[in-house]
Structure 1
Amino acid sequence: MRNLLVQSAGVLALAAALVHGVLAETKIFPRIRIEPERLRLLLRLVWQCSTVAWIALAVLLIAAPSFGSDEARQWVIAVSVVTFGLAAMGNAWATRGRHFGWVALTVVVGLAATGFNP
């Protein structure tokens, strides 16, 4: 059951990452003005780096139950809990809790943490 919860955390994290990337490109960046243009490009790339990192962690969470090494599995879960936890706190703080992203990431943290076995 714990393995299923960890994999569910990965699936939810993958969905959150994809929504994060798509909403940025369709709703946020078309509406904002940033000068100079190369700074705008830099901000887009940095934003999408977090999307790619979340996708990578999500894939690792999905695959974690099949790892041969329990230590590797625990590290993936621990790093995911810290990463998504900090992202959830940052999102909640920056949006004053008015954005759904922090809730989704908090659920990811809770599901992933069920698989942690120190």
Structure 2
Amino acid sequence: MRDIALQSAGLLAILVSILHGAIAELQVFPRARIASPRIRRLLRMVWQASTVDWIGIGALLISAPALGSESARHGIIAVAIVAYGYAAIGNAIASRGRHPGWCLMGAVVGLSVAGW
């Protein structure tokens, strides 16, 4: 059961990441007024770096049960809890709880804890 929770956390993590990247490209950056093309490109790359990182963490969560190492499993889960927990808290504070992202990221944290 804990393997299923961990793999579900990984799938949800990847889904949230893809949504995060798509929303940025379709809604945030087309409306953003950033005068310098260089700064605009930098902000886009920084934003999408978290998207790529979260996809990587999701892939690790999915593969953790197959690694056969409890210490590796716990290390992957700990990183996922910190990364997604920080993002969930930051999203909830910044959006005053009005954006669904913090709930989805919180669900990744909860499923990761269940897979411990």
What residue ranges of structure 1 are gaps of 5+ in the alignment? Answer: none
Matched-pair identity in %? 53
- 1:64 is matched by which residue type in structure 2? A
In the alignment, which residue of structure 1 is the partner of 2:56? Answer: 56
Q: How many corresponding residue pairs? A: 116
For the aligned residue pairs, the C-alpha RMSD in angstroms reads 0.6
Q: State the Cα deviation string for residues 3-48 of structure 1 (Å, max 9, x = none).
A: 0000000000000000000010001100111121100000000000
In the TM superposition, what whole-angstrom CA distance separates every residue of 1:24-75 from its partner, at most 9, and x where no partner exists?
Answer: 0001100111121100000000000000000000000000111121101110
Q: 2:13 matched to which residue of 1?
A: 13
Which AA in structure 2 matches 1:16? V
Residue identity in the other structure for 1:95: S
d(CA) in 2 for partners of 1:11 and 1:115? 13
Q: What TM-score results when the alignment is normalised by the length of structure 2?
A: 0.98
Residue 26 (structure 1) aligned with residue 26 (structure 2): yes
Q: Secondary structure at the match of 1:52?
A: helix
What TM-score, normalized to structure 1? Answer: 0.97
Letter in 2 for 1:14: I
Equivalent-residue separation in structure 2 for 1:45 and 1:79 (angstroms): 22
Q: Runs ≥4 in structure 1, deviation > 2 angstroms?
A: none
